[in-house]
Amino acid sequence: MPDTVVIIPTYNEIENIEAIIRAVFSQSDHLHILIVDDNSPDLTGLKVKALQDEFSGKLFLETRQEKSGLGTAYIHGFKWCLKRSYQYIFEMDADFSHNPNDIIKLYNACHIDGAHLSIGSRYITGVNVVNWPMSRVLMSYLASKYVRLITGMNIQDTTAGFVCYKREVLETIDLNKIKFIGYAFQIEMKFKAYLKQFKITEVPVIFTDRTRGESKLSSSIISEAIFGVISMKLKSLFEK
Ligand SMILES: Nc1nc2c(ncn2[C@@H]2O[C@H](COP(=O)(O)OP(=O)(O)OP(=O)(O)O)[C@@H](O)[C@H]2O)c(=O)[nH]1
Ligand SMILES: [Mg+2]
């Protein structure tokens, strides 16, 4: 996997950071990793710095001053990547919900099968979620159905955060116009790619709830998604 970088946003992931970095690098000697850390009080960033000697030239760290949301962390990461020559740019969580062994499947969907954007999807073959309480599974599943209904996108897992983008997708989408910061960010990115008629493929993956560290999901993130999707769709109609 040459020319490939995995962006991992982090906030207080000290219990996962070293293990996830090692797990990603163990997939291929060619992979690079960019950590976008929001000055985590648990010193996640310091741990990354300490590992940079061992992974010299392939482990990078961008530090922002304060917790500013997952969406803007990715936008920051995308811009960093586009200044360099990467052809495949991944989004991935630090908490092992996304299995690093699946990176190759997402990569192949783009590199071999010709997708512009591949999504690690939980809802292709039933509901592949491990260790989430039923309420959370239901919420996520219904959220994806809701987004399909409103946006018209033919994607099962619209809130998925395990994604491989071909460079041209991120070059084409106006990153300065991406508005959402929580889950809705994931929906918005897919919607923008869909409007630009990029080829989107879903690859079935098994999603496992975090076993270490704390969730950052909040009610404001959920309401942003519920109301944001409707306004996003309406705006897209007027912009046509
Ligand atoms: N830089 C940065 N990273 C964040 C922020 N919020 C979440 N993250 C990271 O984004 C990834 C996903 O966050 P999670 O807390 O796992 O959110 P989630 O997957 O929706 O929730 P759970 O899996 O239930 O914990 C993790 O790697 C987090 O550390 C943020 O404001 N800034
Ligand atoms: Mg998580």
Q: How many helices (H) and strands (E) does the chain have?
A: 8, 9
93 in contact with ligand 1, CB cutoff 6 A: yes
97 in contact with ligand 1, CB cutoff 6 A: yes
Residue 22 phi/psi, 5-degree rounding, is -65, -40
217 in contact with ligand 1, CB cutoff 6 A: yes
For atom 21 of ligand 1, which residue has the closest CA? Answer: 215
| Mean pLDDT on 212-219 | 77
Ligand nearest to the CA of 186: 1
Least trusted range by pLDDT, from 54-63, 127-136, 169-178, 194-203: 127-136
Ligand nearest to the CA of 21: 1
**Is the pLDDT score of 93 beyond 90?**
yes
Q: What secondary structure letter does DSSP report for 102?
A: G
Instruction: Count structural domains, the chain.
Output: 1
Residues, beta carbon < 5 Å, ion ligand 2: 93, 95, 97, 210
Q: How confident is the model at residue 128 (pLDDT cuts 50, 70, 90)?
A: confident
Q: What is the pLDDT of residue 240?
A: 64
Q: Ligand 2 centroid vs 240 CA: distance in angstroms?
A: 35
Q: How confident is the model at residue 88 (pLDDT cuts 50, 70, 90)?
A: very high
| Mean pLDDT on 217-226 | 77
Q: Which candidate, 132, 233, 130, places its Cα nearest to that of 184?
A: 233
Q: What is the pLDDT of residues 20-37, one digit of tens each?
A: 999 999 999 999 999 999
Please report the sign of the dihedral spanned by the C-alpha atoms of residue 134, residue 140, residue 143, residue 145. Answer: negative
Q: Ligand 2 centroid vs 207 CA: distance in angstroms?
A: 9
| Mean pLDDT on 141-163 | 91
36 in contact with ligand 1, CB cutoff 6 A: yes
Q: What is the pLDDT of residue 39?
A: 98
The closest-lying atom of ligand 1 relative to the alpha carbon of residue 37 is 1
Structural domain boundaries enclosing 53: 4-239
Q: Ligand 1 centroid vs 67 CA: distance in angstroms?
A: 11
Higher confidence at residue 182 or residue 42?
42
38 in contact with ligand 1, CB cutoff 6 A: yes
**Is the pLDDT score of 105 beyond 80?**
yes
- The CATH number of whichever domain residue 183 belongs to comes to 3.90.550.10
The closest-lying atom of ligand 1 relative to the alpha carbon of residue 64 is 1
> Could you give the angle at the alpha carbon of 239 between the alpha carbons of 234 and 240, nearest 5°?
105
**Is the pLDDT score of 138 beyond 90?**
no
69 in contact with ligand 1, CB cutoff 6 A: yes
Identity of residue 183: Y
